[in-house]
A and B are shown apart, each in its own frame.
Chain A
Amino acid sequence: MTMHPTSFAFLLAIGAVAAAQVAPVTLMRPATPDKAPAPDGFIQRWLVLEPIRANGLTDSAVQAIVKKEYFPNQFTVIPHDGDKVTVGDTQLTWHAEDTRLYNLNLYHFAHALDKPTTNVLFWALTLVNCPREMPGVRLAIGSNAASVWWVNGQEVIGIYGDRQTVIDDGVSKRLTLKKGQNIIRAAIVNGGGATDFCARFLDQDDKPLKGYTVSLNEVRK
């Protein structure tokens, strides 16, 4: 059988579209209670809330977006996997996720749940368990696009604009991780296209911090 070149190209195009609709699997449910950071320091376990509609990437727009209260105890709650919140008239669910990569791909996350990825706000949270007090460390993050980060309730990083994830793009001032549980909370605002984030701590020599684990409150879904 001979195939007209135009027809062949058409079939290839169909195949490419079909392939594009299958998102790579980079996320999985946590299988252990605790997880050490990756060898290069990246935190790979997070609770992520399904996306909230939001629009704006400038400094002031992002600050307004993340400071708006969408659900009760937004800046203090430590949710469980499967917990639900109602934002407007939409019920959203928290999901415990382990990423296989240095970053957590929010596009994969939302796409797999058939949720929007454009003009959205993601909330993410993880618990950092330190065997001792760790002074002089820095939280170092990258995000696509803008993001604001809190450690133990203190806002420590804000990066703005339509930007791609770059390792250690935003870095906090020196801070102290207390002995026991510490909370990292993040709000990532995406405009369009890909969206993801990465985060790790740096030690006093700007090397990846080790010697701690991350966990989620309780995996019960």
Chain B
Amino acid sequence: MKYALLATALVAGSIALALDGQVGIHDPSTIVLSNGKFYTYGTGGNSLVSDDGWTWRRGTALPRRGLAPDVIHIGDRYYVYIAANIGAQPKAAVNMIWSKTLDPDSPGYKWEEGGVVASSNGVEDANAIDPGVFLDPNDGRLWLVYGSYFGYIRLVELDPKTGKRKDPNDKPRDLAINCEASDMIYHDGWYYLLATHGSCCRGADSGYNIRMGRAKKVTGPFLDREGIDMIQGGGKLFVGSGGRVVGPGHFGLLDLGDGVQKFSMHWEADLDRGGASVLDIRPLLWKDGWPVAGGNLNPGTYEIESVRTGTALELSVEGMPVGGRRARGGGGGPGGAGAPGAAAPGGAPPAIGGPGGGIFAGTGAPIPEQDVAQVSKNWPTGNIDVRMANYLCQAQQKWTIAAAPNAGGYPGSPYFKITIAGTERALAATADSELVVLPAFTGAAEQLWRIEQLPDGAWRIMPKVVPNSNQPVALSAVGSSFATLSRFDPKSDKQRWSIKTP
């Protein structure tokens, strides 16, 4: 288990989590859901399957082996497009196969051959590999982009009823050059072509990076943010190497509904997995009309702040000011914490503190972080409510978010436990869709949290379950000082949270 191996490092709160299980794959297809499971297929026909999108295992190989397949679900069919060299490169063809399910255990699991939908003859400026299939949400037309470094990324139209080429005599359109592994998505009036630049298949020396352009028509021209046409080599960077992973390629959209989008890709080399090529899933964000590669939450200690109200989630206990209580204009305490409700130690006489003295001069010495062991002595020992307040760097306002061991997850991330930093006090959902902090984390499902980045970069925080309810709900701000659980509304700020490093 990857994150178990990283357990020590996670304490530092700076290590990104990678998908769990068997995630080795190259050139993964778009991830699709079939019969409640997630599927993706890679070069060689290998497949990965997952029950939750977090833990993956080897699946059943496709009957047709080849290069960099892509998958789409239309009606009652799953169409798979998969390429193969049919001679010396760039002589290649993209074949289509289809089945009514991707689940080998389902009675409907049976692959049918659909024939060649695109090809290159070895002479023309095209290499018919790396298909990417796209259903236009505006008019229901189905398109295929394909191609590699021998020439252009090309576009042909398919028949959504059959998955086959709509008109074999229709000449392919050239969209881009000097890239491969292309795919297309639509968002808010624009078509986006995402394609992989750089070289693959060299482990940590692979220069793969995903770039993009956009167009008002599916046929282009696709210009990058500088106005350079992708057919002249343009392309705005979408995601490159970073951290412990090198060489992203093969973008695929995973739309989870309610405005939550993610994307899949592979890394040419995961340095923590010996440089193996692995699957990854990350949030897809949008800024100024361009896709942005978001990040899955890194474990750590955070302030959880409502986008709606600007107030921070806290344990409902009396806060103790950092450095001790002081009256307005009065001096600070000794740096520790007095008893809650104690009279202000300052009061009328101005503080004599730092340089120059006076009421704004402080104590003249650094004030240490609040010691939760000290300030929590007066907290109730049982269940405690949750509320929100202005963030004042106090112990009851800092939450440690850590992967919950052996608890499964969702596309891209494990379930998390959320505890008051330095304590075992764990946030949980109640049967009446409210919140409570329990004395300790037990691993129960209502103490597990799904934390996902929304398109604007804010976070949605959802309990895995609410006891005695099937209704999915999210952490929600009601008023300035109270938080609850309610149905997610993608148009509202109520369920949007900033997760900030304190």
Contacts and interface: CB of A to CB of B under 8 A. Distances in A.
Given A174-B432, A174-B434, A206-B494, A59 B317 contact: yes
Interface in A172-188: 172-174
B340 interface: yes
A56 interface: yes
A64 B317 CA distance: 15
Interface in B33-66: none
A140 interface: yes
Contacts of B318: 58-60, 160
B418 to A, nearest CB: 19
A86 B432 CA distance: 42
Contacts of B478: 138, 140, 168, 171, 202, 206
A56 B433 CA distance: 33
B432 A169 contact: no
B21 interface: no
A202 B494 CA distance: 14
Contacts of A56: 341
Instruction: Describe B's contact surface by its main secondary structure.
Output: loop
Query: How many interface residues does chain B have, given as a range?
Result: 10 to 19
B482 interface: yes
A59 B341 CA distance: 7
Name which of B317, B434, B481 has the most chain A CB atoms within 10 A of its CB: B481
A169 B434 CA distance: 17
A166 B388 CA distance: 14
A68 to B, nearest CB: 14
A170 B388 CA distance: 9
Contacts of B99: none
Contacts of A173: 432, 434, 484
Name which of B432, B433, B478, B486 has the most chain A CB atoms within 10 A of its CB: B478
A168 B478 CA distance: 8
Contacts of B432: 173-174
A140 B486 CA distance: 16
Contact of A170 (B340, B341, B482, B494): B482
Interface in A59-107: 59-61, 64
Contact of A58 (B340, B433, B484): B340
A88 B495 CA distance: 48
B341 A60 contact: yes
Contacts of B89: none
B481 A60 contact: no
Given A58-B318, A59-B317, A168 B434 contact: no
B340 A168 contact: no
Interface in A126-166: 138, 140, 159-160, 166
B340 A169 contact: no
B480 interface: yes
A60 B482 contact: no
A170 B434 contact: no
Interface in B116-154: none
B227 interface: no
Query: How many interface residues does chain A have, given as a range?
Result: 20 to 34
B317 A170 contact: no
Contact of A59 (B340, B479, B480, B486): B340
A206 B340 CA distance: 34
A56 B480 CA distance: 22
A61 B480 contact: no
Given A58-B318, A59-B318, A60-B340, A170 B479 contact: yes
A113 B480 CA distance: 32
A61 B341 contact: yes
B480 A169 contact: yes
Contacts of A172: 482
A58 B481 contact: no
Interface in A182-221: 202, 206
Nearest to A166: B480
A128 to B, nearest CB: 19
Nearest to A174: B432
Interface in B282-331: 317-318
A125 B445 CA distance: 41
B432 to A, nearest CB: 6
B471 to A, nearest CB: 12
A206 B433 CA distance: 14
B143 to A, nearest CB: 40
A42 to B, nearest CB: 14
Nearest to B325: A58
Contacts of A138: 478
A62 to B, nearest CB: 9
A169 B340 CA distance: 23
A64 B340 CA distance: 12
A168 B494 CA distance: 13
Nearest to B477: A171
A171 B479 contact: yes
A159 B481 contact: yes
B449 to A, nearest CB: 20
Interface string B468-484: 00000000001111101
Contacts of B433: 174
B253 to A, nearest CB: 32
Nearest to B339: A60
A166 B341 CA distance: 24
Nearest to A58: B341
A43 to B, nearest CB: 16
Interface in B454-498: 478-482, 484, 486, 494
B325 to A, nearest CB: 8
Interface string B265-284: 00000000000000000000
Contacts of B434: 173-174
Closest 6 CB pairs of A and B: A60-B341, A168-B479, A59-B318, A171-B479, A171-B482, A171-B478
Given A59-B318, A168-B478, 15 more contacts: A58-B318, A58-B341, A59-B340, A60-B318, A60-B341, A61-B341, A159-B481, A170-B479, A170-B481, A170-B482, A171-B484, A172-B482, A173-B434, A173-B484, A174-B484
Interface of B: 317-318, 340-341, 432-434, 478-482, 484, 486, 494
9 contacts: A58-B341, A59-B317, A59-B340, A140-B479, A159-B481, A168-B480, A169-B479, A170-B479, A171-B478
